[in-house]
Each structure stands twice: as C-alpha cells, then as structure tokens.
C-alpha cells in the first residue's frame, strides 16, 4: 500500500507545488479578464477639449438660458444625467461674500461676483465674468472676457472665447485658454496657458482693451536648410555676433547681448541669453534656460529643468506661435508669449 501511495503522494505534492504559482496565470488565460489592448491616447490633446465637453453637456440648457436672459429670472433646471443646474437670467452683481454655490451655475448675462465665493461645481458665463477677490472656481467656461480678482483660485480649467485677465496672486491650476489673449499679473501661478498672445503685467486687470498693446517685433526668417555645428563643451557668442545655422553644445551655450542666432541652439547643460539677443529657431536645454531682457525668440523654448524669462521678452509672433515648456517656469512682468506656456510643475509670474 505504502509502496504505491507514497510515490503517488510525493508526485501529487510535487506537481501541486509546481502548479501552484501557475494557478493565477491559468485562471487569467481561462477568464481573460485583462485581455484587451492597452488604451492608447485617442484625443488630439487640444487644450479646449474640456470646454467643448462642457458645452456639449449644457447644450440642453440653451433654451432655458435664453428664456431667463429675456425675463431676468432665476430657474433651476435638470440635466440629462439627473443633476441640477441653476440658470441665472439677471446680470450685474451676484451672490454674497463667502457664499458657497453647490450646483452647476449658468449666467445668461454679464455678471459681477462677490468676494470669496466658492463654486463647488462648474460655472458658465454667456457674457463677461467679473470676479471678486479670493474666489474659488472649479472650472469656468465663458463666452466673453473673464476678469479674475486678486488671489482667485481656479482648480481645474478655464476657457474664454474672449480674453482672460488674472489678478495678482491668482492660482490657475490645470488649463487656461483664451481665444483672444491672456494677461497674467505678478504673483500668478499657472500650469498650462494657451492663447494667441499671453502677456505678463504688474496688474493685468488694468490692461483691459490693451492686452495686445506694444510693438510686435518681426523675424527675418532664413530660408533653406541650415547646417549644424556640434561643440564638445561650452560655447560663447560674444556681443553683437551673428551665427547662421544650428548650434549644439554638450556643455553650456552663452549668447551675449544683441547676438543673433539664425537657427536653433541646444545645450547639454545651460543656455543663457544676454539682453536683446535674438534666436530665429528653437532653444532646447537638458538643464536650464535663462532668457535675458528684451530677447526675441521665434521657436519653441524647451528645458528639462527650468526656464527663467526676464521682462520685455517676446517669444513667437502672431504668425509664428511657439511653446515654452519646462517643469518650472518663472516669467517676469512685461513679457509676451504667442502660443503656449506650459509648466509641468509650477509656473510663476514675477515682478
């Protein structure tokens, strides 16, 4: 008996010890719980996608919005998913200080909000939106201009079909987009900002109607294919020099004042631009980029660590939008970027 059972028991035990680690694998093959392809990105990454999505969501409220705009009434409406929205027909002042709004709210006309209000759900404004100080918004979609009072906080995103003016010390998490212009005051923190022109100012709220003021400097674009020069170590362009072509250095690139690079520059460590330097192409650094006052850059400015932009700088132009992207961006007031400012960790407007 033992002569038969003992080897059989040993074989069964050994077999089960071998099979045990394979059990989850066999079960997954049989049940196929996670057998689909990994999700790949389907959208086009457009900054306006949240705004478009909200516009679709509130589309059923278009009629009540028009009715309330006529009558000046305040009406509660129900959306397709069963949630409620407040449609406010009257324009002018709205809300009390420190009031907390718990529902999606739609303003049919231009409105001026009290200080320190908190909007726990999204906000839609068919007209201009004037915010008091220290308001907290979850997300905002506005058909006209938006004026954010000092120390406003936007938690997720804000889109304006006109311009956005952000007061001092505002914090703009997530996406901020405007179809005309975005003006950011000193002390503003931002992540991703996109507009035909983004200006920084000591007090952006005073710039209404002047957001695109100032002379736009034009580029003299080089036609044809540019050569490239690779340097092992650092390279230094002295004041007033002009370089035609792309320059790549494994170390630092230093471009002194009034120097012109008719091409792009790439540095393994650090790029430093002196006052009034011009770059016709892009600037790319594996470390940090310092852009001096009054510099003019046509192409994207990309850094692995940080970008610091002094005042009077122009990046891109109305005909040549550009992106400034780094984990951290510090930009002084008095500069302008045509296109996108994208700070993956934190962007800040400084004096």
Partner 1 sequence: MLLHLFSVVVALICIYTVRHYCFTLNRFTGEQRHPYIDVDSAVWPAVTVLIAAHNEEAVVSDILSALLEVDYPHDKLSIVPVNDRSTDRTREIIDSFVEKYPGRITPFHRTGGKPGKAAALKEAMAFVQTEVFLVFDADYIPGKALIRQLVSPFFDPEVGSVMGRVVPLNVGRKLLTRLLDLERSGGYQVDQQARMNLHFVPQYGGTVAGIRTSSLEEVGGWNENTLAEDTDLTFRLLLAGWKTVYENRAECYEEVPERWPVRVRQIMRWAKGHNQALTEYATALRRRKNMSLWERMDGMLLLCVFAMAPVLLLGWVLALMLFYLGAPIGGGTAVLALAAFTTLGNFAAFFEIAAAARLDGSEERIRLLPFTLLGFSVSLISVSRAAWQQIIAGILGREMVWHKTERSRMAPVAAGRAA
- Per CB under 8 A, the list member of 21, 80, 209, 233 interacting with partner 1 is 21
Q: Does residue 194 touch partner 1 according to CB under 8 A?
A: yes
* CB of 66 or CB of 248, closer to partner 1: 248
Span near partner 1 by CB under 8 A; candidates 16-24, 81-89, 116-124, 154-162: 16-24
Q: Can you list the alpha helix ranges (DSSP code H) found in the chain? A: 2-19, 23-31, 49-57, 62-71
Q: Does residue 281 touch partner 1 according to CB under 8 A?
A: yes
Burial class (CB in 10 A: 0-12, 13-18, 19+), 95: buried
From CA 211, how far away is CA 294, in angstroms rounded?
A: 18
Q: Does residue 30 touch partner 1 according to CB under 8 A?
A: no
- C-alpha dist (Å) from residue 260 to 238, 255, 284, 335: 10, 8, 16, 19
Q: Does residue 265 touch partner 1 according to CB under 8 A?
A: yes
How near is the Cβ of 268 to partner 1 at its closest, in Å? 9
Q: Does residue 69 touch partner 1 according to CB under 8 A?
A: no
Near partner 1 in 288-307, by CB under 8 A: 299-300, 302-304
- Per CB under 8 A, the list member of 282, 314, 333, 335 interacting with partner 1 is 282
Q: Are 149 and 155 in contact (CB under 8 A)?
A: no
Q: Does residue 49 touch partner 1 according to CB under 8 A?
A: no
From CA 351, how far away is CA 345, in angstroms rounded?
A: 20
Q: Does residue 347 touch partner 1 according to CB under 8 A?
A: no
* Beta-strand relationship, 322-332 and 336-350: parallel
As given in the structure block, the two tokens for residue 283 are 């600037």
- C-alpha dist (Å) from residue 211 to 95, 137, 194, 234: 29, 23, 14, 39
Q: Does residue 220 touch partner 1 according to CB under 8 A?
A: no
- C-alpha dist (Å) from residue 131 to 86, 87, 149, 175, 331: 18, 18, 5, 18, 24
Q: Does residue 182 touch partner 1 according to CB under 8 A?
A: no
As given in the structure block, the two tokens for residue 103 are 């529902």
Q: Does residue 248 touch partner 1 according to CB under 8 A?
A: yes
- Per CB under 8 A, the list member of 230, 238, 239, 244 interacting with partner 1 is 230
From CA 73, how far away is CA 63, in angstroms rounded?
A: 13
How near is the Cβ of 298 to partner 1 at its closest, in Å? 8
* CB of 89 or CB of 263, closer to partner 1: 263
**Residues at the contact surface with partner 1, assessed by CB under 8 A:** 21-22, 24-25, 27-29, 32-47, 192, 194, 225, 228, 230, 232, 246-248, 250, 263-266, 281-282, 284, 286, 299-300, 302-304, 316, 320-323, 325, 338-340, 342, 344
């Amino acid at each position: 008996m033992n002569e038969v059972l003992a080897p059989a028991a040993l074989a069964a035990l050994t077999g089960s010890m071998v099979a045990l680690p394979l059990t989850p694998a066999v079960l997954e093959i049989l049940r196929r719980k996670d057998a689909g392809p990994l999700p790949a990105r389907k959208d086009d990454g457009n900054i306006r996608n949240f705004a478009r999505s909200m516009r679709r969501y509130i589309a059923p409220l278009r009629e009540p919005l028009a009715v309330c705009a006529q009558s000046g009434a305040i009406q509660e409406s129900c959306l397709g998913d069963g949630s409620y929205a407040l449609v406010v027909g009257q324009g002018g002042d709205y809300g009390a200080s420190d009031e907390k709004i718990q529902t999606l709210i739609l303003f049919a006309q231009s409105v001026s909000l009290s200080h320190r209000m908190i909007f726990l759900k999204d906000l839609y404004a068919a007209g201009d939106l004037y915010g008091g100080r220290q308001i907290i918004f979850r997300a905002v979609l506005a058909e006209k201009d938006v004026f954010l009072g000092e120390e406003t906080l936007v938690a997720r995103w804000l889109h304006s079909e006109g311009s956005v003016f952000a007061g001092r010390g505002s914090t703009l998490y997530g996406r901020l987009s405007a179809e005309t212009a975005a003006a950011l005051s000193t002390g503003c923190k931002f992540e991703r900002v996109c507009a035909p022109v983004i200006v920084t100012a000591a007090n952006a709220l005073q710039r209404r109607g002047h957001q695109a003021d100032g002379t736009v400097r034009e580029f003299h674009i080089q036609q044809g294919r540019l050569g490239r020069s690779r340097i092992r170590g650092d390279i230094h362009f002295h004041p007033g020099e002009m370089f035609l072509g792309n320059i790549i250095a494994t170390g630092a690139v230093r471009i002194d004042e009034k120097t012109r690079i008719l091409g792009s520059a790439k540095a393994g460590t650090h790029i430093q631009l002196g006052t009034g330097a011009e770059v016709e192409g892009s600037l790319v650094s594996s470390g940090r980029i310092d852009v001096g006052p009054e510099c003019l850059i046509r192409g994207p400015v990309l850094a692995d660590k940080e970008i610091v932009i002094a005042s009077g700088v122009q990046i891109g132009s109305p005909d040549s939008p550009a992106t400034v992207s780094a984990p951290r961006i510090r930009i002084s007031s008095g500069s302008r970027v045509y296109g996108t400012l994208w700070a993956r960790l934190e962007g800040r407007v400084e004096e």
